Amino acid sequence: MTRRPYHRPLPSNWWRREPRLFRYIVREGTSVFVGLYAAILMDGMIRLAQGRAAWESYLAALSSPWGVTVQLICLGFALFHTVTWFGVTPKAMPPLLVKGQPVPARLIVRGHFVLWAAVSLLVLLILGG
Amino acid sequence: MDVISTDIVIIGAGGAGLRAAIEVAEQAPGLEVALLSKVYPMRSHTVAAEGGAAGVIKSGDSFDLHFDDTISGSDWLADQDAVDAFVRAAPEELIRLEHWGCPWSREADGSVAVRAFGGMKTKRTWYAADKSGFHLLHTLFQTSLKYPRIRRFDEYYSTDLLVEDGRCTGVVAIELRSGRLVAFQAKAVILATGGAGRVYPFTTNGAIKTGDGMAMAYRAGVPLKDMEFVQYHPTGLPGTGILITEGSRGEGGLLRNRDGYRYLQDYGLGPPDPWPRNKAMELGPRDRLSQAFWHEQKKGRTVPTPFGDAVLLDLRHLGEQKIDERLPMVRELAKTYIGVDPVHEPIPVRPVVHYTMGGIDTDINAATPLPGLFAAGECACVSINGANRLGSNSLAETLVFGARAARSAIAAVAQSPAIDSRAVLAQAEAAEARVRALFLSQGEESAPVLRRALGEVMEQDVGIYREAESLARACDILVSLRERYTRVRLDDRSNVFNTDLVQVLELGAMLDVAQAMAESAQQRTESRGSHQRLDYPARDDAAFLVHSLATYAGPGGTRPAIGQKPVTITRSPPGERVYGGGGS
Amino acid sequence: MSETLTLRVLRYDPDRDAEPYLQDYVVPYREEWVVLDALSYIKEELDPTLAYRGSCHMALCGSCGMMIDRQPKLACHTFLRDYVGRPLLIEPLDHFPIERDLIVDQDGFLEKLASLYPYLIAEHERTVSEGEYRQLPAQLAAFRPFAQCINCLLCYAACPQVAINPDFAGPAALALAHRYNKDSRDAGELARAEVTDSPHGVWDCTFVGACSEVCPKQVDPAAAIQQTKISASFRWLKARLLPGDKP
């Protein structure tokens, strides 16, 4: 047999040499920061249960320059996650039909943003007020 | 050399080959099928057929009507018993395909939809948007995956049929990925290798359509029938030859010359209104439409383009919605390959070689004169298409005759004597030696040069209109090309995927097939269907209501013998082909 | 306006080469040429040993998939005019074993496809005399995009998971499984779940989405896979909540 199929291995920089794949890895990477923020919130709940002093020191830590920086980074990645996730939801759901016509993908995406904005507003009003 | 012993070998895995394989698997599950193809099955050229497949199902239609349309479309050269059997079997095959999942387009009530097609008085063309061949092929291929008894040998290029004691006993093929030759031994062989449009330089046909199976049968002593009949499809893109489906005319598209005039009315296909009207104007038969182009070009009324003269296919009046729904691929092809959006501009089109009506001589049961050898699809000539094929009959033909070939092959397996394996091996080794000779020779002729010369002579001298002087020249040139081919040079001497070897072998097949075409054309001194002669413009039923038979005379500077075979006439005596207003 | 263009083509002949290498060819520049035309020119005029696949020249047969400028594309559908000014890199499809030059081994895909029962599995046997199934245009529309796959395998070349998890069924095979699942005439979804719901079925997909981006026929295999994930999840839940239920 003279066949000798050649396998080109996946290069270790596979996700850096292609913009589409780089964005994908960043999107996946947001899970780290979303997870981190979830840990911060979890920590807050534990502190709350430990009493006023613990809670105050938790809030102080969050307000510190480090604390704000970390939260901003997490917010940035969480927003990126949300935007990219909303962008792909039309693919992740069975086709939506209204009166026999498929709803265009961009309307589904916009719908998600509208709903998000409404819920965020509601939360801000209830809790901020 | 390895010898693989099996029950039935099928060469070619397009519409006819796959249908045959499935038929064997379903009707004779105890038999094993070796399905050989020089390409993966989904690459077969069936994939490019666009318009649809004809079958009588709607009320208001009848087998007699389909029969009549096909016989007159064939200019009375089709064998009427075969056409009768064909039209009766076609609807069943199409329904069977639907049961296998083929996504035929539908009426609002969910029943299968049909559309108008050229040369047919009644709508009976089933279609799957404008990719009917694609859907048909993929449905067949995917269905074939149900049957483990169908052993596929993908990318095996068949070179020679094995014949022993006057029977076909198998085939030799090159396993392209390793370069080794393998012999397949079987009691029945079915050729389903497609047509030979690639002998012409401008064709809708893909690169693989080089007439390999026709040449193999021919060299094994089976005559090639009606080779002079080559169909030009009226609407191919200039330059690439990419097919723009007849369905675009079935949906109402118009053909205009440089003055915007619907010129077909000048050629017995009018009056232009009322439109649309079946069998008239743009829905006339393909041979008439292609011939009309030739005349318009002579009169200087065609539109010059960078790729030759063209006429204009106007779809603008259909509107964007209808085009996107019924002809989406046409829009995509026109935009991609010539930068024209048919919603806004007419598409430049011209006749290009599309289909080989002629082929391996087979009978109504897909049997060739060589016991044990069967053929179906475009490589075969039963004949149900005669001198001119109606659009949408050929997809149906692959199914009907693919199934028939299978049934005939199953019977042959039961009835055939045992095969002498040593004789098979000896023949196979001789075939192998001929291939190996290419690797050892110091040939001086370049295959691309010969191929270009072939294309030129066919285009110039064996085109839409022929005449004695140019045909004689073509025949002489082909003798010389075949003689030069005996000294052809193989440049690539490698083993793994040697595509130069494949192209050199394909060239050999094309030269043999082209010679059969030219010599048969020279002998037919009449005009009929797609074979039109400037020197013999009339149809001559007294002398030529016969099939031509080309018999191989050997390699090198030989010429085939051209004989004749009667046409089976049952209930439709030769009449005048009437299209246009008179045809209704 | 350039008169010529350089194609930098990956070459590999296992009989002679320990590994692939790149070879430059200078071809004439023609406005209307696609990469496949340039490869034909090379084979006819410059180097008859160049091996590649190609047939229909109209983006239907799926033969001519290759990496062009590091993107998976059909050579018959990629125009030279979009790449003037620099050498154009032509390589065989990523993530497949290279047999020779631009030709890759596609058998792996065919095995994966076959494992998904990519054919109509009907509830009851239907005879020809019963005629066709009724299928409304809306029902046809539900699966038609997924039926447009030409098996060109550009999606496999684009998908990093195909490279990272070689047993992953892959976009085209899963899209075809979905095509049949969504066909109103079919009843084989549970049979296909054997593979679709398995770890190397839809669950190897992490929704990179590159497959749908490179697909020349807008099949949208990413959508097919995500939709299958939803059905697979419900099947999983159902199996756990109602274990007595036979599927």
Nearest to B292 by CA among B262, B336, B247: B262
Taken in order of first residue, the domains within chain A and their CATH numbers are 14-92 (1.20.1300.10), 95-129 (no CATH)
pLDDT digits (tens, 9 = 90+) for A71-112: 999 999 999 999 988 988 888 887 777 777 778 888 889 999
Q: Is A2 on the interface with C (CB under 8 A)?
A: yes
- Where does a domain end: C89, C104, C119? C104
Cα C136 to Cα A19: distance, rounded to the nearest angstrom: 42
Summary mean pLDDT of chain B: 95
CA-nearest of B126, B399, B102, B95 to C186 is: B102
- Shared fold status for B232-354 and B426-566: no
Looking at residues B173-187, what average pLDDT do you find?
Answer: 97
Q: Which residues of C touch B206 (CB under 8 A)?
A: 55-57, 61
Tell me whether residue C206 is in a domain.
yes
Q: In C, which residues are within 8 Å of A18 by CB distance?
A: 70
Instruction: Tell me whether residue B249 is one of the annotated catalytic residues.
Output: yes
Domain boundary among C75, C104, C133: C104
Whether chain C has a CB inside 8 Å of the CB on A19: the answer is no
CATH number listed for the domain at residues B232-354: 3.90.700.10
End-to-end CA distance of chain C: 65
Chain A, nearest residue to C93 by Cα: A8
Q: What's the length of chain A?
A: 129
Pull the structure tokens for residue B126.
């089933």
Of the given ranges (B29-43, B276-290, C197-211), which has the lowest mean pLDDT? B276-290
Residue with tokens 């497609």: B194
Verify that C77 and C113 share a domain, yes or no. Answer: no
C-alpha separations of B375 from B45, B93, B368, C199 in Å: 17, 18, 7, 45
Rounded distance between C-alpha atoms, residue B113 and residue B96, angstroms:
16
Chain C residues closer than 8 Å to A17 by CB: 70
> Structural domain boundaries of chain B?
232-354, 426-566
Q: What is the pLDDT of residues C55-99, one digit of tens each?
A: 999 999 999 999 999 999 999 999 999 998 889 999 999 999 999
Same domain for C218 and C119: yes
pTM here is 0.95
Q: Do C136 and B131 touch (CB under 8 A)?
A: no
- Contact of B493 with chain A, judged by CB distance below 8 Å, is answered with no
Using the Cβ of A100 and the Cβ atoms of chain B, whether some distance falls under 8 Å is answered with no
C95 shares its domain with C112:
no
Q: CA-nearest residue of chain C to B210?
A: C55
Task: Give yes or no: residues C23 and C80 share one domain.
Answer: yes
Domain count for chain C: 2
pLDDT at position B94 is: 98
Per-residue model confidence (pLDDT) at position A101? 76
Residue C84 is part of which domain span? 4-104
Q: Find the mean pLDDT for residues B14-25.
A: 98
Q: Which residue in the set C60, C110, C132 is minimally distant from B134, CB to CB? A: C60
B254-256/B308-314 β-pairing: antiparallel
Q: What residues of chain B, 496 to 525, have a C-beta less than 8 Å from chain A?
A: 496
- Does C19 contact A100 at a Cβ distance shorter than 8 Å? no
**Omega before residue C97 within 30° of 0, cis:** no
Q: Given a cut of 60, is residue C247 above it in pLDDT?
A: no
- For residues C168 and C161, the answer to whether their CB atoms sit within 8 Å is yes
Q: What is the CATH number of the domain that holds C167?
A: 1.10.1060.10
Partner residues linked to B254 by β-bridges: B314
- The per-residue pLDDT for range C131-142, each reduced to its tens digit, is 999 999 999 999
Q: Are residues C83 and C111 in the same domain?
A: no
Quick one: C98 and C176 in the same domain? no
Q: Is A4 on the interface with C (CB under 8 A)?
A: yes
Say if strands B33-37 and B8-11 run parallel, antiparallel, or are unpaired: parallel
R_g of chain C computed on alpha carbons: 21
Listed as own residue / partner, the contacts of A4-12 with beta carbons closer than 8 Å and 24 or more positions apart are: A4/B496, A4/C14, A5/C14, A5/C97, A5/C98, A5/C99, A5/C105, A6/C12, A6/C14, A6/C19, A6/C20, A6/C97, A6/C98, A7/C97, A7/C98, A8/C20, A8/C94, A8/C98, A10/C95, A10/C160, A10/C163, A10/C164
Give the minimum alpha-carbon distance from C224 to chain A in angstroms, rounded to a whole number.
8
C143 assigned to some structural domain? yes
Same domain? For C121 and C218 the reply is yes
Task: Based on the fold, state whether residues C169 and C187 are members of the same structural domain.
Answer: yes
Catalytic position from the list B233, B262, B533, B547: B233
Q: Which of B249, B262, B354, B559 is catalytic?
A: B249
Q: What is the DSSP string of C27-77?
A: EE--TT-BHHHHHHHIIIII-TT-------SSSSS-TTEEEETTEEEEGGG
The CA-atom distances, in angstroms, between B390 and each of B52, B74, B88, B235, C138 are 11, 8, 16, 14, 31
State the pLDDT at residue B13: 98
Q: Do B142 and C48 touch (CB under 8 A)?
A: no
- Which of the listed ranges A38-42, A58-62, C109-113 does the model predict with the highest average pLDDT? C109-113
C122 and C76 part of one domain: no
For residue C64, count other CB atoms closer than 10 A to its CB. 26
The one-letter amino acid at B371: P
In a domain, C247, yes or no: no
Looking at the domain assignment, is residue C246 inside a domain?
A: no
The predicted pLDDT at position B296 comes to 96
- Can you tell me the ipTM of this complex? 0.97
Q: What are phi and psi of B314, to 5 degrees?
A: -100, 115
Q: Same domain for C114 and C97?
A: no
pLDDT band at B579 (very low <50, low <70, confident <90, very high): confident
pLDDT at C1: 52
Please report, as a single letter, which amino acid is at residue B168.
Answer: C
Say whether pLDDT at B10 is over 90.
yes
- Considering the four listed CATH numbers 3.40.50.2300, 1.20.120.80, 2.40.160.100, 1.20.58.100, the one that applies to the domain covering B426-566 is 1.20.58.100
Q: How far is A94 from chain B (nearest CA, A)?
A: 20
> What's the CA gap between B59 and C29, in Å, rounded?
56
pLDDT at B584: 42
Q: Among all residues of chain B, which has the CA nearest to that of C103?
A: B497
Domain limit, last residue, from C85, C104, C123 = C104
Distance of CA B49 to the CA centre of its chain: 11
